[in-house]
Structure 1
Amino acid sequence: MSERKPIESWLTDMDGVLIHEGVPIPGAEEFIKRLKDKDRPFLVLTNNSIYTPRDLQARLRRMGLDVPVENIWTSALATAQFLDDQRPGGTAYAIGEAGLTTALHDIGYVLTDHDPDYVVLGETRTYSFEAMTKAVRLINAGARFIATNPDETGPSTEGPLPATGSVAALITRATGKQPYFAGKPNPLMMRTGLNRLGAHSESSAMIGDRMDTDVLAGMEAGLRTFLVLTGSTGKDQVENYPFRPSEVVTSIADIVDLV
């Protein structure tokens, strides 16, 4: 087996890797600083489509993490990139927050509930029965079904919240139509991120806290993968999966010296 090339570009998940419940994980600040000091290409990834990159930049800065807006890559941006490649200048009925609607506006999409090309489902804290009913009827009438990510739950200080994957399942049961998920674990999100950096998979790495999204997407995109144990997946759960990360480390602090 040939040796891997040195890591030149880094992709890292945000929640569970850099921050946890609004607090930076020890080592995250040093990791970001090292990347910037060494001028390494990098992206901070999130499947959450609620916030725009500028929103996330401000939230991270309040936590002491200085991540430039151009180094943030969300499932909403990956979804918009996919739609722009597939059907430029199209139309969509979007269920989501500013992160999704802004991304769609930025590629020139018209948001409408009249015969749209796509129904695009993203994350929101205010899913409404009316919006879901409209989505079902539009999909039954021929609109193509897209979702930003398959995450069934999302974190909160009170406990798990229903997320995009759960609502997508409801719409699927009502329509018989499966959505195309643009976010992790779809390697599309990794590949579009690498293209954004001008990077190659052979010399890039993905850091994540979930085996079923971060590690899987990184592996399928051909990246070296690091699983940190500060988020969703515990060390005892790694063997439950038919695939393995390249390395398992305690936290992001263990990766700083690899940059």
Structure 2
Amino acid sequence: MQLWPAIDLLGGRCVRLQQGDYARETVFSNDPASVAAGFQRDGARHLHLVDLDGARAGKPLNLDAVRAILAAVDMECELGGGIRDEATIESLLELGLSRVVLGTSALKQPEWFRDMIAKYPGKLVLGIDARDGFVATHGWLETSTVQAVEFVQLFADDPLAAIIYTDIATDGMLQGPNVEAMREMQASVRLPVVASGGVTTAQDVADLAAAGLHSAIIGRALYAGTLTLKEALAAAKTPIASPT
């Protein structure tokens, strides 16, 4: 199972939010590039970046920090947050990102998103953020009436790089992931599903691996010290059950 340490960017700093609430922010570093370099030294081969300002504004706003991170590491890096048009997709890929994550635009313009997947095969990731099983949008500030498991079926046969499934209720709470919800999502599609939200211990990582998840994003646990990247990487080697 792949592990993607997370760096959330707000005002150029590395922060974490609790349950996507911008009012519940913890600043972990004023130098995100050094944080990224630290993850690489600890064995990370993948890096998940989120532009929190961009998610609210509808366009990426932390590009200086992203450029600094890309210059500091040699990892597969992805970015989500405010990516809602083709020009932005193209510019971010040209910047050196391996793939980009779209969520709100996919929900609001599914046919356009399908066209983009076809134009950039293997480069786009569908970010599905769910609150009580329903898709949340606009930086988690709004909740739709669309069920997450049903929504993903719209793109199940398209050449997406992956699906990131975030359970908002567990995100940043250090109380463990919603393993059953993640298992259900992975079982519903053949695409790689990346579990996000709540990973706190090595056992959480092992449970997700055993549930058949392709990847997992780890954020606050790495910053709070409840889990080291070395421990997480070892736990991720748990034999993965095939999705059914």
Question: TM exceeds 0.5?
Answer: no
Task: Find the structure with the greater CA-based Rg.
Answer: 1
TM-score normalised according to structure 1 size: 0.35
Q: TM-score, normalised by structure 2?
A: 0.36
**Bigger relative contact order, structure 1 or 2 (CA pairs below 8 A, ≥6 apart):** 1
